[in-house]
């Protein structure tokens, strides 16, 4: 019972933090968190510690903590998620012209 309550609370907190994230990416992140909640709890705790050290700079905390867990995060992804991620990366590469302007 407590595990389900904790998981529900984590989903609500995560959803509130991802208001501006596209729905497809939200779904992907939620799926990874559901697959390996312990990993993401560990990452969240480390990021909180980094935030305290760095004066609440979220980007700096993420850049320091997330690379350490890259392989585990990829392991938490389903094959479908990995395919979507690859498509997102390819799509982002195709949005800019060589001079840096945005393609229409």
Instruction: Give residue-wise pLDDT tens across range 53-92.
Output: 878 788 888 888 999 999 998 888 888 888 887 777 665 5
Split into its structural domains, the chain has a count of 1
pTM to 2 decimals?
A: 0.69
What letter does residue 41 receive in the DSSP assignment? Answer: H
- Matching residue, tokens 């309550």: 5
CB 29 within 8 A of CB 16: no
Domain assignment of residue 66, yes or no? yes
Give dist(CA 60, CA 54) in Å, integer.
7
Domain assignment of residue 65, yes or no? yes
* Boundaries of domain holding 41: 37-79
Q: Residues 2-56: pLDDT tens digits?
A: 677 877 777 787 778 788 888 888 888 888 888 888 898 899 899 999 988 878 7
Domain assignment of residue 52, yes or no? yes
Domain assignment of residue 42, yes or no? yes
Domain assignment of residue 90, yes or no? no
Domain assignment of residue 24, yes or no? no
Domain assignment of residue 50, yes or no? yes
CB 28 within 8 A of CB 85: yes
């Amino acid at each position: 019972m407590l595990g389900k309550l904790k998981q529900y609370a984590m989903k609500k907190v995560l959803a509130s933090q991802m208001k501006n994230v596209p729905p497809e990416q939200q779904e992907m992140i939620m799926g990874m968190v559901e697959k390996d909640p312990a990993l993401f709890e560990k990452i969240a705790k480390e990021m909180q510690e980094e935030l305290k050290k760095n004066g609440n700079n979220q980007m700096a905390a993420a850049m320091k903590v997330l690379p350490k867990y890259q392989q585990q995060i990829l392991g938490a992804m389903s094959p479908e998620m990995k395919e979507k991620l690859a498509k997102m990366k390819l799509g982002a590469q195709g949005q800019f012209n060589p001079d840096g302007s945005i393609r229409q």
